[in-house]
Chains A and B, each alone.
Chain A
């Protein structure tokens, strides 16, 4: 799917501010599933950009505005070509999660972080969801995604970034970051390495935005990737109870939101900001492909268990 994305954030301050320093993480990643065709960032008032790739592989655009200003507008425009991800085999024994090499590579995705700190109740819930089948890490991750989807109801403005997931669970409402943090924490609590993904979603039935023909107006989105031994990262979108597909455009990943915030920065001065943020996604190849149908469960995204013969053939 060919998508053009326009990310725009505008701060309007009630009194002038100075010495603002900011980092933007809005550029779609290039990986096996998606290809970045073009990317452009502009800032008003104008500023020199420093662009680099961070530890997690995400492109960062850094800029500062020294002089006094009452508004700051950041626009990023991207063109990207996406595909559906490869399907995953369901037959992955949980014992393979304990492989020393696997643990060594995923150490940082197994620990609690500021936004993913779980308590015993969360861990217990995760265990009960995943203990049924010892040979199905993929199913375990999908069950956790489904559970996060069921536990929270989508309600913007009810949570703040940085609120502990235990509190969010108690309230039962949240936005995509909260769904993602909950699913990440539950995966980690049962030993499945998981990471937080920041991105965009082009979707006609997405709960975060509206659609007019081939244009959707949304916010940035967040979902989850779980590491499946021998197969790679399985992406799940618990907010929409949706398998991640060609309508998902990934920006980057990290241990939690703190590693991939779309925009972070500081400024100096007493002004308080009013924020307008919008993402507009336009589909550029509507004629050739029908929209990807939504799937009722995250599990439907993964293929039925393969037989041993098939697996062996796969390995040859």
Chain B
């Protein structure tokens, strides 16, 4: 039964299984607990064998853990997905326009008073070294991960944008591969849209942003900080699925503002770098001079237009959580459209009135630092201790620009296996959006689930799990593209 006060994805308010979940629900209803446990064991063994793990920073136990995939899938029907696809395309289009406006445009959004100038200049993600560096097609967010939740009415809301180095897509693909092997029968009669074309789509987008002068067969590489990075598995996975080289900074060299990779056959020119290194480690000439992860001269080569870096440098100003609060206005400003997927209700703590209200209600709200990702630094008022609330209050008062507050969104629920039965657990969704020649939303995305009863924290770094996400094909095959 659904938890009162929350929207359940699979069951309606009268306890009936929703139409698009019926075949899967019936399939799971026939399984005995022993059969479920056996499937789980099979899943763990398969992930262990393939080395599909993730790293938790700051954890005292072993930092590598097997990827937690819950067997009960999340299902999105065709009509709902069509709305999400439109909404995500709209949002990313506006964010790309905003970033291009800030870095190489007229700063029209500032000039027209849509965002205050100081919102940009005070953002730790605003990268002055990227000003006047143009990006082919203006595709600055080549890969974006937009975190969505469903509130208690079932309405989708954007919780945050991830425009720098969003990770998780490899788990989407691996989850699907595992589910197809484990539960082939559950897919029977359902037209679940494929996700395994991701490598091809990513490569197509990366090739589309190659410098125009480099010809029609650009060389693409994936740049990783190395094996100690928590997402190294994904970096290797993406390079493999695109059939391109996985390189570290020391494998690249810049000569006369052209980037080349050292190979056994000598230097080979590189045209597009899908980098999974943070801005500040990319080039020791202009950023952290002590970084050995990056490539000296890379920013100058990018500025010279001989190579394209994706995602673009400086995207952090676009996913700054204080800027997030303005995204609905940016959509109206750049596109002249009403936002299709609304934000969560957000308070800007550098506005004295909003700050005063938030400090009154700190124990009812969620407080987040503006530039972090992965759930780090978040304080959930209703669950926080008095000491935690006092600490965050001090931090807000010391640096209000660095914090936002949001109303608690009652994340929707979906059954998850809890050891002996399926019980409702809270979930969110991170769809992945690619921008090359055009915007492409990968069907579904990463559904994260808070495995602890009552918990709203879905981050894998904080004890969350994941679910395979099924987008159903269009009921009328002729209308599907």
**Chain A residues at the B interface, C-beta cutoff of 8 Å:** 19, 21-23, 47-48, 50, 52-56, 62, 64, 66, 103-105, 107-108, 111, 259, 264-266, 268
Contacts and interface: CB of A to CB of B under 8 A. Distances in A.
Contacts of B297: 21, 62, 64
Interface of B: 116-118, 121-122, 128-129, 131-132, 253-257, 284-286, 289, 296-297, 300, 303-304
A108 B116 CA distance: 13
12 contacts: A48-B256, A50-B300, A52-B132, A54-B132, A62-B257, A62-B297, A62-B300, A62-B303, A64-B254, A66-B253, A107-B117, A268-B296
Given A19-B296, A54-B128, A107 B122 contact: yes
Contacts of A48: 256-257
A54 B285 contact: no
A124 B121 CA distance: 27
Contacts of B289: 264, 266
Contacts of B286: 23
Given A48-B256, A53-B132, A266-B284, A21 B296 contact: yes
Contacts of B131: 54-55
B255 A108 contact: no
A277 B200 CA distance: 53
Contacts of B117: 104-105, 107
A231 B122 CA distance: 24
B115 to A, nearest CB: 10
6 closest A-B pairs (Cβ-Cβ)? A107-B118, A21-B297, A55-B128, A55-B131, A21-B296, A62-B300
A103 B121 CA distance: 12
Nearest to A67: B255
A105 B256 CA distance: 37
Contacts of A108: 121-122
A219 B475 CA distance: 75
Contact of B256 (A19, A53, A64, A266): A64
Nearest to B133: A52
A173 B129 CA distance: 32
Nearest to A254: B128
Nearest to A66: B255
Contacts of A22: 285
A259 B304 CA distance: 20
A108 B122 CA distance: 7
A111 B285 CA distance: 24
Contacts of A104: 116-118
B137 to A, nearest CB: 21
Most chain A beta carbons < 10 A, residue from B116, B122, B284, B300: B300
Nearest to A47: B256
Given A52-B132, A52-B303, A266 B122 contact: no
Most chain B beta carbons < 10 A, residue from A19, A64, A103: A64
Given A50-B300, A104-B118, A107-B122, A23 B285 contact: yes
A62 B302 CA distance: 12
Contacts of A19: 253-254, 296
A264 B283 CA distance: 12
Contacts of B296: 19, 21, 64, 265-266, 268
Contacts of A111: 122
A50 B297 CA distance: 11
A62 B121 CA distance: 25
A50 B117 CA distance: 29
Given A62-B300, A108-B122, A50 B285 contact: no
A108 B126 CA distance: 11
A227 B209 CA distance: 41
Contacts of B257: 48, 50, 62, 64
Contacts of A268: 296
B256 to A, nearest CB: 5
A84 B356 CA distance: 48
A50 B118 contact: no
A138 B214 CA distance: 54
A54 B127 CA distance: 11
Nearest to A268: B296
Nearest to A22: B285
A55 B313 CA distance: 14
Contacts of B116: 104
Contacts of A50: 257, 300, 303-304
Contacts of B118: 103-104, 107
Nearest to B127: A55
A64 B253 CA distance: 11
Contacts of A21: 254, 285, 296-297, 300
A266 B291 CA distance: 11
Nearest to A103: B118
